[in-house]
């Protein structure tokens, strides 16, 4: 643990964060590496301001004024936006460009994200890349396939596993692709307002839900938000993992599936460049190409195994201990600067 000058405050938008295991708590890994305290912006403006005033602060987006504007009140500051875009409106971009460039350092989760931020006007010397940690020790030992298939009456037929089913994830595209490919899609994620609020330990998480018309799709099995052991069993039982998002700043569920050696069908943008040589790619809204990739895997056991082994090697590089060491090194440089 690196002792920080002024006792680092880790300012986050909501805590505790929803994660499968403690080693995937992307807020706490920062505290583990750099000491200090985690402060939730949900405590309100005045309490948050008092907590960060003239302190060293590592703020993690989202939300204005806090955590996003912490640099205006801190002594020295770091920001992890959990996003690689400044927004879609010109005035939003202008405000964020000003605020981000006031931070001493910006942390992006991927190299692709770093380059995107630079293109949008963030000073390149400010940005470092540190990924989100995956609990490789847990997800690299998949088990529970038989019980998961039995519980959900899946028999021995192949199926595609999907984690995250809100609209930005394009679940409708995935369902159409699976229909073409002739396999069922097992969809993981909250299906009701109450499920979403329970999962996120708060209120107003309706944006996390899929379009209700998808819930009656004949080719889909919606299993709700799964705890870690059940998700591990689902991964163990699945034939292929599918993501078709319009946007991902990191995509932790992809790394969890990869750690387990599950072959990946991924959207073709730079967030997932780490898997470029061991996954099959498609445009996010191209159901036909995704279906072709799914069928390549279902018809070729050797390809599934080869890509699964290589994807697991990639995921191992992002394990908790590796990411914690990145943060320890970062905080050491930051404290000495």
Q: What is the per-residue pLDDT across 102-121, written as a single tens digit (0 to 9) for each?
A: 999 999 999 999 999 999 99
Look at 38 and 209; give whichever has higher pLDDT. 38
Q: Is the Cα dihedral 269, 18, 311, 239 positive or negative?
A: negative
Q: Say if residues 172 and 179 touch (Cβ distance below 8 Å).
A: no
CATH code, residues 9-133+319-336? 3.40.50.2000
Task: Check whether the bond before 232 is cis (ω within 30° of 0).
Answer: no
- List, in sequence order, the alpha helices (H) in the chain: 28-34, 45-52, 90-100, 111-119, 136-139, 145-151, 171-181, 193-200, 228-237, 252-259, 287-298, 301-316, 320-336
Of 131, 80, 120, which is closest to residue 104 (Cα–Cα)?
Answer: 80
Predicted confidence (pLDDT) at residue 3 exceeds the cutoff of 50: no
pLDDT of 101 higher than 50: yes
Question: Where residue 208 falls among pLDDT bands split at 50, 70, 90?
Answer: low
- Across 148-159, average pLDDT: 97
User: Any idea where the domains of the chain sit in the sequence?
Assistant: 9-133+319-336, 136-316
Say if CB 53 and CB 73 are below 8 A apart: yes
Calculate mean pLDDT across residues 286-299: 98
Q: How far apart are CA 161 and CA 186, in angstroms?
A: 5
* pLDDT score recorded for residue 60: 97
Residue, of 260 and 191, whose pLDDT is higher: 260
Q: What is the pLDDT of residues 50-67, one digit of tens each?
A: 999 999 999 998 888 999
Rounded average pLDDT over 165-180 = 95
Of the two residues 200 and 5, the one the predictor is more confident about is 200
Per-residue pLDDT tens digits for 223-278: 999 999 999 999 999 999 999 999 999 999 999 999 999 999 999 999 999 999 99
Q: Establish whether domains 9-133+319-336 and 136-316 are of one fold.
A: yes
**Model pLDDT, residue 94:** 97
Structure tokens at 135: 């609990």
The answer to whether residues 314 and 278 touch, using CB atoms and an 8 Å cutoff, is: yes
Strand 56-60 vs strand 76-80: parallel, antiparallel, or unpaired?
parallel
Residue 290 in tokens: 């995704």
Higher pLDDT: 285 or 5? It is 285
Fold of 136-316: Rossmann fold (3.40.50)
Nearest 5°: the CA angle 221, 222, 228 is 115
pLDDT at 5 over 60: no
Which of the four pLDDT bands, split at 50, 70 and 90, describes residue 205? low
Residues 6+ apart with CB under 8 A from 137: 23, 319, 320
String of DSSP letters for 46-77? HHHHHHHTTSEEEEE---TTTTTTGGGTSSEE
Over residues 164-168, the mean pLDDT reads 91
259 vs 46: CA distance, rounded Å:
42
Q: What integer best gives the mean pLDDT of the chain?
A: 93
Weakest-pLDDT range from 138-142, 146-150, 203-207: 203-207
């Amino acid at each position: 643990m690196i002792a920080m000058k002024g006792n680092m405050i880790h300012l986050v938008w909501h805590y505790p964060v929803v994660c499968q295991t403690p080693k995937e708590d992307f807020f706490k890994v920062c505290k583990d590496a750099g000491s200090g305290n985690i402060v939730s912006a949900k405590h309100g403006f005045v309490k948050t301001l008092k907590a960060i005033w003239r302190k060293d602060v590592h703020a993690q987006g989202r939300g204005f004024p806090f955590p996003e504007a912490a640099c205006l009140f801190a002594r020295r500051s770091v920001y992890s936006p959990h996003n690689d875009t400044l927004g879609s409106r010109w005035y939003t971009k202008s405000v964020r460009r000003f605020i981000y460039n006031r931070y001493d350092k910006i942390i992006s989760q991927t190299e692709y994200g770093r380059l995107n931020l630079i293109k949008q006007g963030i000073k390149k010397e400010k940005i470092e890349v540190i990924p989100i940690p995956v609990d490789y020790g847990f997800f690299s030992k998949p088990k529970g396939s038989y019980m998961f298939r039995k519980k959900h009456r899946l028999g021995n037929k192949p199926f595609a596993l999907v984690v995250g089913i809100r609209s930005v994830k394009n679940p409708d595209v995935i369902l159409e692709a699976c229909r073409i490919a002739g396999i069922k899609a097992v969809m993981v994620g909250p299906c009701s307002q109450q499920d979403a609020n329970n999962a996120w330990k708060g209120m107003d998480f309706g944006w996390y839900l899929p379009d209700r018309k998808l819930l009656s799709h004949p080719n889909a099995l919606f299993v709700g938000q799964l705890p870690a052991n059940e998700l591990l069993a689902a991964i163990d039982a699945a034939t292929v993992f599918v993501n078709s998002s319009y946007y991902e700043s990191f995509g932790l569920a992809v790394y969890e599936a990869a750690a387990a050696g599950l072959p990946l069908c991924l959207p073709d943008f730079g967030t997932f460049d780490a898997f470029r040589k061991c996954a099959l790619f498609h445009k996010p809204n191209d159901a036909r190409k995704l279906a072709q990739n799914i069928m390549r895997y279902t018809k070729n056991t050797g390809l599934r195994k080869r890509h699964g082994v290589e994807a697991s090697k990639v995921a191992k590089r992002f394990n908790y201990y590796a990411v914690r060491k990145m943060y320890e090194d970062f905080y050491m440089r930051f404290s000495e600067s």
